[in-house]
Structure 1
Amino acid sequence: MTVEETLNEVNEVFQRSTDKGVDLILARDEESDAENHDYSFKRVMAKSRVLSELEELVYEKVENKRTALANNNKETDSYSISNKDRDEDLIQYVSTADIPQFENFERLIEGERFRGTDYEESPIPSFQAIRLHDSNDMVIAFQFYSRRQILGRKSRLRLRITDEVYTPIDETVMAIPNRIDCLYYADTILIFNQRNFEKIFDYMDEFERVAEDVFDDLEDGDVPIANFDLFKEAAKSYPDAMRKMYEVKQLGVYEEMDMGAAKGIIDDFEVELNVVSNDNGEEALKMRDKRDVWKVLSLFNEDHVDSRLTETPYITTGGKQRVQNE
């Protein structure tokens, strides 16, 4: 099913049923270790007007996406981390079967009825989900949670005006963002905000797991890095560098690269990376500081290639390959 067909079917769910159940659900991470997440799901107790507004929010955003596709204002593509800066012009899709650790989210999909909670319960929510369902279908809109939803959290006073007079508010005031980060329907996730999608579905854990494999490969590989500890520390300190490591693994160029190929790319494209030799004459890359991690990762990711390894001339921009004129 295409993205357009999926959105059309979601629209039919809205049109077909006037007796939908609507839940606002908070997910809290009760993880037992850094790699495994155990979410607790609880339902926010809300009046019917609030639930109706949430349903309208989801409907409006679905309609906006349908209109954008119909007017050719957006493209569609399968999920790729290289698309991370294309939210304005792209709707991505991914099967739930391809999402790591999706079993942690299956209780949401199965329609389980959760007990009540509020936003002030600990720990803070990881994300919230607007779940709409009838006897046949389940639609879930996901929103990454931010403390900014608590209005006036750091203010000395929270005020409201009544009859042109301001009075203090003692209660917590919550805001629901006017957006959807991603949408579930029929075993597919449509992605509208890639970074928030990756946070919600714990992709950083997957990036870090894959990065450890790449670190091991590079340390024993044919393109040594003299200050490898600095490279590893730098890559781990930048979330986007961990995404880049995932791309490096997917492409696999580093597995075939040797110092001769690396030096050729450095020379041809004037990459500002140092090459040093040890007492035995063995050469290695050397980073000047943490910022050089991007140059090393671009080297392994063929971001500026002629291409020595695939013998196809191209440069890469925004994760896409563009063939050069010969």
Structure 2
Amino acid sequence: MSETRALTVRRPSPGRRPTVSLTPRERSRRRREARGAWSLLSPSLIILGVMVGYPAVLMVIQSFTDYTVKNKVQGTLPAFIGLENYIDLFTQSDFPAVLMRSLGLMVVLTVLNMTFGVLVAVLMTRLSRAWRIVVSIGLLLAWAMPPLTATVVWGWIFDTQYGVVNWAMNTLTGTTDWTNHSWLLNPWSFFFVLTIIIVWQSVPFVAFTTYAGLGQVPGEVLEAASLDGAHPWKRFWFIVFPYLRSILTVVLVLQIIWNLRIFTQVYALQSRGGLASETNVLGTYLFRQGVGEFGSTAAIGVVMVILLLALSWGYVRTTLKEEEL
């Protein structure tokens, strides 16, 4: 005898999903599948909780205390001081200036990375196979170079005495005004050099990701639009961009997070002559805080996490809505 399973579908009310009545056998099977899925996920969840969850909770707790290295050495408990660390952070330190500087730098870097990355990806689709390979190798070399190594190389290019840039400027102007000129002493020129280094290393990721997404655009659609007389900009905006929207959204969020967390390049340039007090970003500011001031540094970390979550919340919300559909 064959067993039949009856499903009763109820008419959904406006704004609600349709409800399906399952048999006890079907509900039992789904519960077993759920338990199996959670059992497979449990090792990863445990590791994630230990490696991410515990430090995050501990950081939040320490941000409300006056925990210092003295408490750690003596084995004493810190005192609970409430929001005092956060109040001091925004009223009795230069953190607001560092925060605005980091946000401004993040916006500039993200716009440049996304713009040049997409342009390079589109250019690669128009190049011949040989030139595409050459461009890809050049991008890979820039991308594969460690940030510290790249900063050292560019630091020598802009070096005060032996830099190629100073020599080129003297040659072009026919003067010696650029001899011993320091590009890192002035904050504006410091961030100019920093922008070149970061954009040079970040564009390859955007370019390769966008180039892979361009392969999903049907050639027949582009050819039909071209025959209809559509302008290249309209073809990109109305045909290509919808196919790339999800990819570019992910890349944009990653660029925002990475550009707000830069540390190595800034610290290395500061070590070569930059003024730390005028060129600090969030990462270096956190690193240069008082040694052993765990409570205040934890407050800075909490503010950075909240800021990153706020900046990426739009993407998270969009992803959740797409999964519900």
TM-score (norm 2): 0.25
Larger CA Rg, structure 1 vs 2? 2
Higher RCO structure (Cα 8 Å, ≥6 apart) = 2
TM-score (norm 1): 0.25
More helix by share: 2
